[in-house]
Amino acid sequence: MADIKDRVASRIPEVTNREIDLREAPPPVFQLEDLSVYYGAFLAVADVTLAVLANEITAFIGPSGCGKSTILRCFNRMNDLIETARVEGKLSYHGVDLYGPQVDPVEVRRRIGMVFQKPNPFPKSIYENIAFGPRIAGQRNNLDDLVEETLQRAALWDEVKDKLGDSALALSGGQQQRLCIARAIATQPEVVLMDEPCSSLDPIATLKIEELMQELKKEYTILIVTHNMQQAARVSDRTAFFSVDVNEKGQRTGRLVEHDTTNKIFTTPSRPETEAYITGRFG
Amino acid sequence: MTTSVRPYSASPEMVRRALEGKKISVVDLLVSTALLLALLSSLAVLLTLLIDVVSEGMPVLSTRLVDFVTSPLSARPESAGLVQGLMGSLVLVGFVIVVAFPLGVAAAIYLEEYAKDTPLNRLLVSNVRNLAGVPSIVYGLLGLAVFVKALSGVTNGRTLISGGLTLAVLVLPIIVITTSEALRAVPRGLREASFGVGATGWETIRHQVLPVSFPAILTGSVLAVARAFGESAPLLLAGAVLSNFFSAPAGTSFISQVAEQSYTALPIIIYNWARQPQEEFVALTAAGIVVLLVALLLVNAAAIIARDRFERKQVS
Query: What is the residue extent of each domain of chain B?
Result: 81-315
A15-24, A85-94, A124-133: range with lowest mean pLDDT: A15-24
Q: Produce one character per residue of B212-249: b if its CB has 16 or more CB atoms within 10 Å, e if not.
A: bbbbbbbbbbbebbbbbbebbbbbbbbbbbeebebbbe
Is a pLDDT exceeding 60 seen at residue B105?
yes
What confidence tier does B30 reach under pLDDT thresholds 50, 70, 90? very high
Name the percent of chain A lying above pLDDT 70. Answer: 90
Residue A3 has pLDDT above 70, yes or no: no
User: How remote is the C-alpha of B50 from its chain's centroid?
Assistant: 19
Residues of chain B contacting residue A170, judged by C-beta atoms under 8 Å apart? none
Report the distance separating Cα B79 and Cα A18, nearest Å: 100
Number of compact structural domains in chain A: 1
CB contact (8 A) between residue A113 and residue B194: no
CB of B292 closer than 8 Å to CB of B230: yes
Smallest Cβ–Cβ distance between B189 and the set A76, A106, A118 belongs to A118
A68: containing domain: 2-121+188-278
Report the helix count and the strand count for chain B, using DSSP H and E: 15, 0
Which of B117, B193, B212 is closest, CB to CB, to A83? B117
- Residue A258 belongs to a domain: yes
Q: Rounded CA gap, A144 and B314, in Å?
A: 20
Half-sphere exposure (Cβ direction) of A228: Cα atoms closer than 13 Å: 19
CB contacts, 8 Å: A107 with chain B: 198
Q: Which residue of B has its CA nearest to A177?
A: B193
Asked if B192 and A78 come within 8 Å (Cβ–Cβ), the reply is yes
Nearest CB among A109, A122, A165 relative to B195 is that of: A109
Give A167's contacts in chain B (Cβ within 8 Å): 315
Is the per-residue pLDDT at A8 higher than 60?
no
- Which CATH number fits the domain that encloses residue A239? 3.40.50.300
CB contact at 8 A, A140 and A85: no
Give pLDDT, residue A133: 92
Average of per-residue pLDDT values in chain A: 86
Query: Are B198 and A184 an interchain contact pair (Cβ–Cβ within 8 Å)?
Result: no
Cβ of residue B118 closer than 8 Å to a chain A Cβ: no
Q: Does position A269 have pLDDT exceeding 60, yes or no?
A: yes
| Per-range mean pLDDT, top range of B156-160, B199-203, B255-259, B274-278 | B199-203
| Helices B119-132 and B160-184: angle between axes, nearest 10 degrees | 120
Q: Which of residues 30-59 of A touch B (CB under 8 A)?
A: none
pLDDT of B75 higher than 90: no
Q: pLDDT tier at B305 (50, 70, 90 boundaries)?
A: confident
Considering only CA atoms, give the Rg of chain B.
27
Task: Quickly state the pLDDT bin for A111 (edges 50, 70, 90).
Answer: very high
Contact B174, B231 (CB under 8 A): no
- pLDDT category at A11 given cuts 50, 70, 90 is very low
ipTM, two decimals, is 0.85
Chain B residue numbers touching A223 (CB-CB < 8 A):
none
Of B196, B208, B314, the CB nearest to A109: B196
Of A83, A107, A122, the CB nearest to B190: A122
In this prediction, residue B1 carries a pLDDT of: 54
Q: Are A50 and A32 a contacting pair, CB within 8 Å?
A: yes
Q: What is the pLDDT of residue B250?
A: 64
pLDDT above 70 (res A77): yes
The third-level CATH classification (topology) of the domain covering B81-315 is: MetI-like fold (1.10.3720)
pTM comes to 0.82
Q: Which of A67-71, A112-116, A150-154, B79-83 has the lowest mean pLDDT?
A: B79-83
Q: Which residues contact A76 (CB under 8 A, 6 or more apart)?
A: A105, A108, A109, A112, A113, A114, A193, B196
Which residues of chain B from 139 to 198 reach within 8 Å of chain A, CB to CB?
Answer: 187, 189-198
- Residue B249: its pLDDT value, please? 64
The confidence score (pLDDT) of residue A6 equals: 56
Which stretches of chain A are assigned E, i.e. beta strand? 28-39, 42-53, 57-61, 85-93, 96-97, 112-115, 191-195, 221-225, 238-246, 252-261
SS3 A37: strand
Q: What is the pLDDT of residue A1?
A: 45
With respect to residue A90, please indicate whether it lies within any of the assigned structural domains. Answer: yes
CA distance B190 to chain A (A): 6
Does residue B269 carry a pLDDT above 70?
Answer: yes
Asked if B208 has any chain A CB less than 8 Å from its own CB, the reply is yes
Q: Contacts of residue A132 in chain B, CB cutoff 8 Å?
A: 194, 197, 199, 207
Q: Of the given ranges (A3-17, A38-52, B147-161, B258-272), which has the lowest mean pLDDT?
A: A3-17
* Residue A114 sits at the chain B interface (C-beta within 8 Å): yes
Q: Is the Cβ of B311 closer than 8 Å to some Cβ of chain A?
A: no
The pLDDT score that the predictor gives to residue A283 is: 42
How far apart are alpha carbons B58 and A70 in whole angstroms?
A: 69
For residue B173, pLDDT beyond 90: yes
What's the whole-number average pLDDT of chain B? Answer: 86
Direct distance between the N- and C-terminal alpha carbons of chain A, in angstroms, rounded to an integer? 46
